[in-house]
Amino acid sequence: MLSRRPTRAIATSVGAGALVAAMAFGIAPAHADPADDARFLDIVKQLNVPMESPEQAVQAGHGICDKVAAGKIEPARTVRSILGQLTASGLQKGGAVNLIWGAVDVYCPQYRSLVGR
């Protein structure tokens, strides 16, 4: 489960397009569950991650899971790669880690063990 500790200064260090880079991970599948999307959007809001739209955030969350699934043979390298892409887009490391954990928890819980949760 996500940590309840506040992630300070994320909003100030992240440009409005931070999740635009995350969108490069993939596109939300057609079978998306609105309840899962609402849970993930709550996580994004809790982390103060700027987004242009809820759809953008949902796509980023699904994209993170797509990357984890594609790289499950080498999970450590895959998670480092995702983390690097998110931090390069402006997220602080703690916020990026929590975003990854949140996406996996909501959209692909079968991969929790691959991302350290």
> Per-residue pLDDT for 107 more than 70?
yes
Is residue 23 in some structural domain? no
The pLDDT of 5-34, averaged and rounded, is: 49
Is residue 38 in some structural domain? yes
Q: If you compute the radius of gyration of the chain from its CA atoms, what whole number of angstroms results? A: 13
Is residue 58 in some structural domain? yes
Is residue 93 in some structural domain? yes
* More reliable by pLDDT, 22 or 51: 51
Instruction: Report the domain count for the chain.
Output: 1
> Per-residue pLDDT for 40 more than 90?
yes
Its pTM stands at 0.76
Q: How confident is the model at residue 100 (pLDDT cuts 50, 70, 90)?
A: very high
Residue with tokens 């397009």: 17
Greatest alpha-carbon span in the chain: 35
> Per-residue pLDDT for 21 more than 80?
no
- Asked if 107 contacts 59 with a C-beta cutoff of 8 angstroms, the reply is no
Please state, rounded to an integer, the average pLDDT across all residues of the chain. Answer: 80
Is residue 27 in some structural domain? no
- H/E stretch holding 93 reads helix 93-107
CB-neighbour burial class of residue 111 (10 A; exposed 0-12, middle 13-18, buried 19+): buried
Is residue 41 in some structural domain? yes
Q: Where on the phi/psi map is residue 48: left (φ > 0), alpha (ψ -120 to 50), or beta?
A: left
Full residue range of the structural domain in which residue 51 is found: 34-114
> Per-residue pLDDT for 1 more than 80?
no
Is residue 73 in some structural domain? yes
> Per-residue pLDDT for 5 more than 50?
no
